[in-house]
Structure 1
Amino acid sequence: MRLLVLTLLLFQSSLALCEEWELLVQKHGIEVYGAHETKDGLIPFRSKAILNHPFERVLTVLLDADRKPEWSPKLKSTKVHKKISNTSYILSEYYNTPWPATDREFLMLGELFPEKDKFTLTAKTYIDPKLADKDHIQVDIRKLVVTIEKINETQTAFEFIFLGDMKGLMPAWLVNLIQKQWPFKFIKRLNTQLEKDDIVPGQIFKDIDWRNQTTPDKYNKSN
């Protein structure tokens, strides 16, 4: 019982970082925030932007797992292991990691929360040795929240919050790259993808039931 209480206190302390964001990058309409890496290796970042594209188009691109490697930085491939429901999936994303670090896998439970003119995607680590790729280090995802909200017919607000332990060897320069450069490039390349002429809804997008609107719990909501 004492160990459980201590674990919960440490976890809550880590999440408190999200209230201490420091602006790291601000250019091209993109803002990237960070907080200090914790003793237990957690790396937090937060990125925000106004995308000059319609809400539905932004959502179409974000939910297309098959095409995400076209634009997401360092992403080699994705795999949907299991569809639990129309709003819940077990999936993996496999990332190239610069030498001397080993490539990473984000094996996660992803959940979708459709609302009127708003959409939230959340993810957390999913543990299953049968699904984990032995050639990748498994990232411990404590908090991953992507929120988009319609501003008007041509603009969409975007926010991405991440708090996780990349595990394994992680040099200081690589931590800096993940916290500053990756979130900025993610939004920049998302914008590039949105400009393409061949954007069409994928199966995950098609399966969303907009009549069944839900909201993420208090823990997953953006600060």
Structure 2
Amino acid sequence: MKLFKYLALFVLMIAAMPTLAETEGWTLQREKDGVSVYTREVKDSAFKAFKGETVLEVELNRAMALMDDTAACVEWMHSCKSPILIRKLSPLQRYSYMVNDLPWPVKDRALLLQATISQELPSRVVTVALTTLDPETLADSDRKRVPDDGGIVLIEKANGFFRFTPLNEKQTHVEYQMHTEPSGALPASLVNSMVVDTPFYTLKSMRDVVKAEKYTDFRPF
């Protein structure tokens, strides 16, 4: 019953999600293996946003079970390593930390994220909104769980979302959008040249990993 109480509190209209939900201005960059990737310019930023889309051959709740499994990030999210669940505030809100493994000589980047889940009814569309957190805003106990590694640059500004739209009892459409200001001395041209790979390989791997047997019994959505 507690989970459904939280669901009632977090049922929101899609208009309340991040502004990246707008559909204008996207340019198709890659369409391969059932995954479509788009990019677009972002006002007052040298770095492009990306959007990836594909269809998962599973029901909505199995997709959400994967999203609930922080440790599994390394199995499907492109360049993800060292994921840590900092705190699960409720079934629909959590803080997590992950490192983006970037090729040498570029320093790895880390993300400290707040994930907030909401669902539209009656469509059952679920959005997992992602925004960066300032470690200084965390409680002392949570801040101590954030690794202190001088060789990794903490990204100060990123926002986006995963959106899951049930198509039927065996298929779920997923949309992954993100815009990141990577912090530190990284040329925008370099970052923009790699931005297509992140959603492409993330969604391609997600389609396989989400079919794992351990995700079959999660049914809150």
Q: Structure 2 length as normaliser, TM-score?
A: 0.76
Among candidates 148, 151, 165, match of residue 133 of structure 1: 148
Give the equivalent residue in structure 1 for 2:196: 180
**Which aligned runs of 4 or more in structure 1 are off by greater than 4 angstroms?**
14-18
Among candidates 54, 59, 70, match of residue 49 of structure 1: 54
Moved more, 16-25 or 88-97: 16-25
Say whether the 8 Å CA contact 1:41–1:167 is kept in structure 2: no
Q: 1:86 to 1:48 in 2, by over 3 A?
A: same
Say whether the 8 Å CA contact 1:137–1:167 is kept in structure 2: yes
Matches within 5 A, 1:1-223: 19-36=24-41, 40-116=45-121, 117-129=124-136, 130=143, 131=146, 133-135=148-150, 136-171=152-187, 172-177=189-194, 179-199=195-215
- Structure 2 residue ranges without an equivalent (≥5): 1-18, 137-142
- Structure 1 residue ranges without an equivalent (≥5): 1-13, 211-223
Separation in structure 2 between the aligned mates of residue 50 and residue 16 of structure 1, nearest angstrom: 18
Q: 1:82 to 1:50 in 2, by over 3 A?
A: same
Separation in structure 2 between the aligned mates of residue 53 and residue 134 of structure 1, nearest angstrom: 38
Offset of 1:51 from its aligned partner? 1.7
Residue 202 of structure 2 aligns to a residue in which SS? helix
Deviations 1:187-218 (A, max 9, x none): 110012123334356xxx68x6x6xxxxxxxx
Q: 1:141 to 1:121 in 2, by over 3 A?
A: farther
Q: Structure 1 length as normaliser, TM-score?
A: 0.75
Separation in structure 1 between the aligned mates of residue 92 and residue 180 of structure 2, nearest angstrom: 23
Residue 66 of structure 1 aligns to a residue in which SS? helix
Residue 67 of structure 1 aligns to a residue in which SS? helix
Moved more, 154-163 or 92-101: 92-101
Separation in structure 2 between the aligned mates of residue 77 and residue 99 of structure 1, nearest angstrom: 18
Identity %: 21
Moved more, 75-84 or 191-200: 191-200
**Number of corresponding residues:** 191
Q: 1:36 to 1:132 in 2, by over 3 A?
A: farther
Separation in structure 2 between the aligned mates of residue 87 and residue 72 of structure 1, nearest angstrom: 20
Q: 1:15 to 1:122 in 2, by over 3 A?
A: closer
Separation in structure 2 between the aligned mates of residue 144 and residue 15 of structure 1, nearest angstrom: 7
Q: Cα RMSD (Å) of the superposition?
A: 2.6
Q: Which has the higher contact order (CA 8 A, sep 6+)?
A: 2
Say whether the 8 Å CA contact 2:83–2:97 is kept in structure 1: yes
Q: 1:146 to 1:68 in 2, by over 3 A?
A: same
